[in-house]
Structure 1
Amino acid sequence: MRLHAHRGNTLTAGAVVLTAFAVEAELRGLGPRGVRLGLVAALFALTAWAGVRSPREAGGIRVYQEVLLVLAVAAGTGTLAQGAVVLGLGPGAPVAAGWAALVALGGALLAAALTRGRDATMAPGAGALLGLVALVAGAGALWPGDDPRVGVRLALLVAMVALTVGIVDRLERRYRQAIVLADVLAVVLVLLAGTFLLPHVPGAEDALGLPPAAPGAAWGWQALLLVAGFGLVGVGSTLHEHGPGWLGALGLVAALVVLADGHHAFVGWPLALLVAGCVLVAVALRPVEHVVVPEEQGADPPPPVPWPRAPLTLVGPPRRADEDDDEL
């Protein structure tokens, strides 16, 4: 059996509807657990087969293939969770952090396996989010101290470093994947800021089983949040990408809220931001000694260099025809 390219959109639409049915059946508890497990497993088999075995084109992966791979990752993660419950390894109430970490880790590994060798962007992004959930839940479950938020913050710091390395590594080779990782990095920034703002959310600490914590963050965390927020906004503006720009702006707002938490003095971050902003404005408005103008009056400026830049191709000088060459 083979999926033809012209029927890919139709099959993807059917898979989306079946996924909605599976979610609704799980929310309502329709039928025995084993039946729901079989439904999710069949949905995973269908979407994984269609996403992996669908014909590839020279122009890259198509949108319906991206959606099929994302559905396969979601259905595969649901299959792991349902299978664990059927085997008697339930999550408990509330959901245990270790159980969530193992299921999310399985989903992340599944996403990596499904997208290996394929120039996909949405499924690796979903896998990165699942890996983030596994890292955070695992750190919260294994942290030996009284407050697991400390372990979660360290895990998020490791995730930020790993994502930054991944973005730099893929920016030239796989540009779209780098942008998706930048979106995930912005989500990590928001989560990291959220760990410091939980005391201001009524009932949040009790619902998560966390001990009461004093509001505010240390200077190092504040600097990290501020630099990461400005950096993501700058990346989004420079590359003309809405995802890192808007998500980075949200992370920057969260960072500013953390910086202002419990502080009312002008000396500190407000003064530093004021000085930095005035310096940048002064540099931009400084007098220009030499003005570069086009050679011809009214000539259009050169077009901007596209990003990512195309790889350089070294071409030798044209070959000169020898006298002994045969004439065609």
Structure 2
Amino acid sequence: MPDQHRLARWLGALLLLGAALALLLGAGVGSTGFESVLNASSDPVAWQIIWDIRLPRTLGAWLAGALLGLAGAVAQGLFRNPLADPFLLGSASGASLGVAVALASFGVSPYATEWLVRLGLTGAAFVGAVGGVLLTLTLAKGVHHTLRLLLAGVIVGVVLGAVKDLITIAVPDILQAMQAFMLGSTGFVGWTACGVMAATLVPAMAVAWALSQVLDGLTLGEATAHSLGLPLAPMRAALVAVLALATGAAVAQTGLIAFVGLAAPHLVRSIVKTTHGRLIALSAAMGGLLLMVADVLARWLIAPQELPVGVLTSVLGGSYLLWLMHRRSARGGFL
């Protein structure tokens, strides 16, 4: 176990070092290339491109990925299911519905509007995400039964997704704007959004770390966790709140970005075996690095145009999980 603890520390250091290098790389990747970096000291426009666009976007990608990685580790531990992801409790469908309602009300695109309207759409996504989780909790009658909570999340996701589709059919003008949200993008993340995500990440990480013993206990079964004297109901409720807030904050700023929250904990577990406290912290760092690298690739692969980062994470994350399933099935196991 000491070797695993040492490995966990080394992994954390490497993930943070990789994030620092990716941040520097992200400052130089864009439609104008590295010329903006070279001319930043003498050209005010180049400096503005780096400081106001590239740096907050790259840092925002790390923060959103960290929130999703944290939420994914909490979800997989809470449901004792390696296929659980941050969107499992209806947050994604709730956020999509919130954006659809806001767009139908405003009648404009979320990424081509005045800052006040954009802020309203961000708030609508966050409220929709949290509302979807609350609806799931209501249908499941609390957090006491994990299976009921899981099934309620699936039902809420389907129903809210159908309502969102009905709105887009009724108001087809919002279809293109909804597509931008569904594909996910870090292109409109500024310093304000970075501040919001950082302000959510710090307390969410602190609470998840403090309650990680519940997740450790649940790995041994609910009966064992009860015998250890853990108050499962209130601690589960707190973990679900962390899951909802972390997911809602990320989705509100970047749209729906798939597979980061699902793949990050798997990558960490494939490297080191550790307790949920360290797993949550390492998953956050891994998720941040994954989304940061994906954002840089999305800007660089077909520059000066760019790919939707959510599409890139889906392709890369899905390919990784398929390979992982194949490798584990060849060994007679599963994820």
Superposition TM-score, scaled by structure 1 size: 0.26
Bigger relative CO (Cα 8 Å, ≥ 6 apart): 2
Greater fraction helix = 2
Structure whose alpha-carbon radius of gyration is higher: 1
